[in-house]
Amino acid sequence: MLVNGEHHVLEPMSVTALVQHLGIEARGIAVARNGEIIRRSEWGSTTLMPEDHVEIVSAAAGGA
C-alpha cells in the first residue's frame, strides 16, 4: 500500500485500522483512496487493499 508516497507492506484493513496502525490522531485529518476522499463515517466499513494509493492529510488553518 502506498501511503503518502511511502510504500507499506500491509494486509487489507479499514481506514480506521490504518490510521491507528500509523499512530495518527484522527481529529483534523482527511483520507483519500486512489484520489477519492473517504467520508469519516465510512472509515470503519471501507477496506483498503495492498494495491491502493492512500493520502492522509491534515487540515491547515489560515489563508491568504
How long, in residues, is the chain?
A: 64
Residue 7: what pLDDT?
A: 97
pLDDT tens track for 2-54: 999 999 999 999 999 999 999 999 999 999 999 999 999 999 999 999 999 99
Does residue 51 form part of some domain? Answer: yes
Residue 63 lies in a domain: no
CATH code of the domain in which 54 resides: 3.10.20.30
Q: Read off the pTM.
A: 0.88
Burial 54-64 (b: 16+ CB within 10 A, else e): bebeeeeeeee
37 is a domain residue: yes
The secondary structure of the chain in percent helix, strand, coil, rounded to multiples of 5, reads 15, 35, 50
18 part of a folded domain: yes
Does any domain span residue 64? no
Q: Count of domains in the chain?
A: 1
Q: Which domain holds residue 37?
A: 2-58
CA 1/CA 17 separation, integer angstroms: 14
Per the model's pLDDT, the better-predicted residue between 18 and 64 turns out to be 18
